[in-house]
Amino acid sequence: MPELPEVETIRRTLKRFVEQKTIENVDVFWPKIIKQPDDVEMFKTQLIGQTFHDIKRKGKFLLFCLDDYVLVSHLRMEGKYNVWPKEEPRQKHTHVVFTFTNGEELRYNDVRKFGTMHLFPKDTEFDYNPLNKLGPDPFDASFTFDYFYEKLKKTTRYIKPALLDQSIVTGLGNIYVDETLFKSRIHPLRRAHTLTKAEVELVRKNTIETLQEAVNLGGTTIRSYVSTDGDMGMFQQELFVYGQTDEPCKICHEPIEKLKVGGRGTHICPTCQKK
DNA sequence: GGAGTTGTTGTACC
DNA sequence: GGGTACAACAACTC
């Protein structure tokens, strides 16, 4: 379940494998993954002959930078990339294959097929869905206290769904929202606009800090999720609340509770996070 | 067979 | 009409 730290880990790993590689052919076995352009044949035509120059990231999106196009990729639940020699048998859930002129292939695998790809002419990618409505990346300088406070001040929603809203800040998913709120000792059912300035700054600081620690550890490995080169992320050892239901809180030893907030499973320590 | 998973879309409501 | 809440949806595993 890649959130920002997992996507960043994938970006760093994958970059080395694709840079300066030229696409000779593209195979799409599950066309629904390709959202832009409408026509999958057009998608292939535009990509063939293009060379990878960089991989960037915004929130949970990977941006593959080519000569004339940018491929915007969201992994959703279980999307994975890997690079193999083309002789290597493809996996059962390989849905998109970019064959390089050097005989290797970049493969997109996705058991649930929830992932999406959008191809845009270079420098137009931020003008369209899905990137045009995104808020700042938490590591971006524009994720300031003033910005964040204003955004939270004018929403009456609970703080948890507000943090999951990618138009406020982009990159947080269920794991890191629960961890950030725990770290900030704020209950997920607090209304966003009731947070004090000090609390907003605390949440902002802890958002950045939690994500940075997770990036440093290569992300979180849960269930079968393994990053591009097979390395396991290690952040799961640092989790205080996510997936820790009934386990003693690492701070106060009270059992961690699970509740539902905005339709999402939510983990809290009832003692550390008072309403 | 229902819950869970992400983010988008549609609908209802105030 | 904007903000909010909720359900449905994509597809699959457990």
User: Which residues have a Cβ under 8 Å from the Cβ of A3 and sit 6 or more positions away?
Assistant: A60, A171, A172, A173, A174, A175, A176, A220
| Most confident residue range from A90-94, A197-201, A216-220 | A197-201
Q: Is A255 a catalytic residue?
A: no
**Confidence class for position A236, pLDDT limits 50, 70, 90:** low
Give the pLDDT score at A127: 84
Residue A102, pLDDT above cutoff 50: yes
Closest CA to A119 of A24, A13, A38: A38
Q: Is A264 a catalytic residue?
A: yes
Specify which residues A100 forms β-bridges with: A23
Q: How far apart are CA A271 and CA A166, in angstroms?
A: 29
Give the pLDDT score at A89: 82
Overall pTM > 0.85: yes
A113 Cβ within 7 A of any nucleic strand B atom: no
Give the pLDDT score at A224: 36
Give the pLDDT score at A32: 84
Give the pLDDT score at A234: 63
Number of C-beta neighbours around residue A85 at 10 A: 10
pLDDT by residue (tens digit) across A121-130? 999 888 888 8
**To the nearest whole percent, how much of chain A has pLDDT over 70?**
92
A154 Cβ within 7 A of any nucleic strand C atom: yes
pLDDT by residue (tens digit) across A23-77? 999 999 888 888 888 888 999 999 999 999 999 998 889 999 999 999 999 888 7
**Confidence class for position A245, pLDDT limits 50, 70, 90:** confident
Q: Is A209 a catalytic residue?
A: no
Give the pLDDT score at A157: 87
Mean pLDDT over A219-241 rounds to 57
Q: How many residues does chain A have?
A: 275
Q: At what angle do helices A174-183 and A197-216 cross, to 10 degrees?
A: 130
Give the pLDDT score at A220: 59
A111 Cβ within 7 A of any nucleic strand C atom: yes
